[in-house]
Structure 1
Amino acid sequence: MRVDDSLRRGSPRRDGRESARSGTTAPRGYRGTRDVSSVSAPRILVIEDDPSVISVVEFVLDMAGFDAVFAGDGGTGVASARQTRPAVILLDLGIPVLDGYGVCAALAEDPATAAIPIVLMTGTAESASSERLAKFPIRDVIVKPFSPKDLLARVQILVGSGG
């Protein structure tokens, strides 16, 4: 599991625990012991800047055996998508540097990333229903706060169907 250095500056949880691998905070009781580096696990790129959301997503993906890559801003996220070619991208619309709309546009312009399925993670479903998003490969929208089971089910469907 890899994490962009910009995430390491996130605010710690009240209890002060941090995930050993990523610098993000882990949910209570999470040990972060699964090592997916030696297996061919589907790669999921998470472009999100909220440490609490990152913590939950990291836990869910790690426990399910996915190879999760994290980026804390849109610019880093686009670069990571081009470099790592993930099976699915989980994207927050309200991220710094380059917002979610800009990320979608940049990925759509590059033939190497244009077909990667995107799951939007947003505070309101209305923000994801914009005509600006209609031309991008957005396969799903998940409204925060979301159920970890719901997130996992949506990712597994996309990975299982090949996007």
Structure 2
Amino acid sequence: MTRILVVDDSPTELHVIKTMLGKHGYEVSTASSGEDGMAKAREILPDLILMDVVMPGLNGFQATRQLSQDAATARIPVIVVTTKDQETDRVWAMRQGARDYIVKPVKEKDLLERLKDILP
């Protein structure tokens, strides 16, 4: 089963995305901060990470950069999922190591298509 880690400080977003992915057979773990997301990623080595940007402490850009530079987690694709809809944010996310960028609110069909494009 494909394991996906969802990192977001909003309990509502975590619930919505986890429910969305769960009904399509994905095994979903969650983390509510960038720091927690980093620790969980190293612990469970998910197949993919969905990363929010705006979080207290370590933000999603910083966490994505650290994950992409860590030998243990560098192979894990990260999709940034955020309300930030500026082209500069999209470019910056890719420079930090993200493989894709989705603007909230997440549309189920769009998310599933992107997962199919990235996951083996």
TM-score by length of 1: 0.67
Shift, 1:86, TM fit: 0.8
Shift, 1:71, TM fit: 0.1
Q: Is the 8 A contact 2:8 2:52 kept in 1?
A: yes
TM superposition outliers: structure 1 runs of 4+ over 2 Å: 127-131, 133-137
2:90 is aligned to 129
1:20 is aligned to none
- Matched residue SS, 1:68: strand
Q: Which moved more, 1:72-81 or 1:138-147?
A: 138-147
Aligned residues: 119
Structure 2: segments with no counterpart, 5+ residues: none
Shift, 1:146, TM fit: 2.1
Q: Is the 8 A contact 1:115 1:137 kept in 2?
A: no
Structure 1: segments with no counterpart, 5+ residues: 1-40
Larger relative contact order (Cα-Cα within 8 Å, sequence gap ≥ 6): 2
Aligned mates of 1:134, 1:60 — CA distance in 2: 25
- Matched residue SS, 1:78: helix
Report Cα offsets for 1:75-96 as digits up to 9, x if no partner.
0100111111111100000122
| 1:9-48 correspondence runs (5 A) | 41-48=1-8
Q: Is the 8 A contact 2:8 2:55 kept in 1?
A: yes
Q: Structure 1 vs Structure 2: percent identity of aligned residues? A: 34
Establish whether residue 102 from structure 1 lines up as the match of residue 62 from structure 2: yes
Aligned mates of 1:124, 1:96 — CA distance in 2: 15
TM-score by length of 2: 0.89
1:148 to 101, 108, 117: 108
RMSD (CA atoms):
1.6
Q: Is the 8 A contact 2:62 2:96 kept in 1?
A: no
2:99 is aligned to 139
Change (3 A) 1:43 1:151: same
Which structure: larger Rg?
1
2:18 is aligned to 58
Aligned mates of 1:101, 1:140 — CA distance in 2: 13
Shift, 1:130, TM fit: 4.0
Aligned mates of 1:117, 1:124 — CA distance in 2: 20
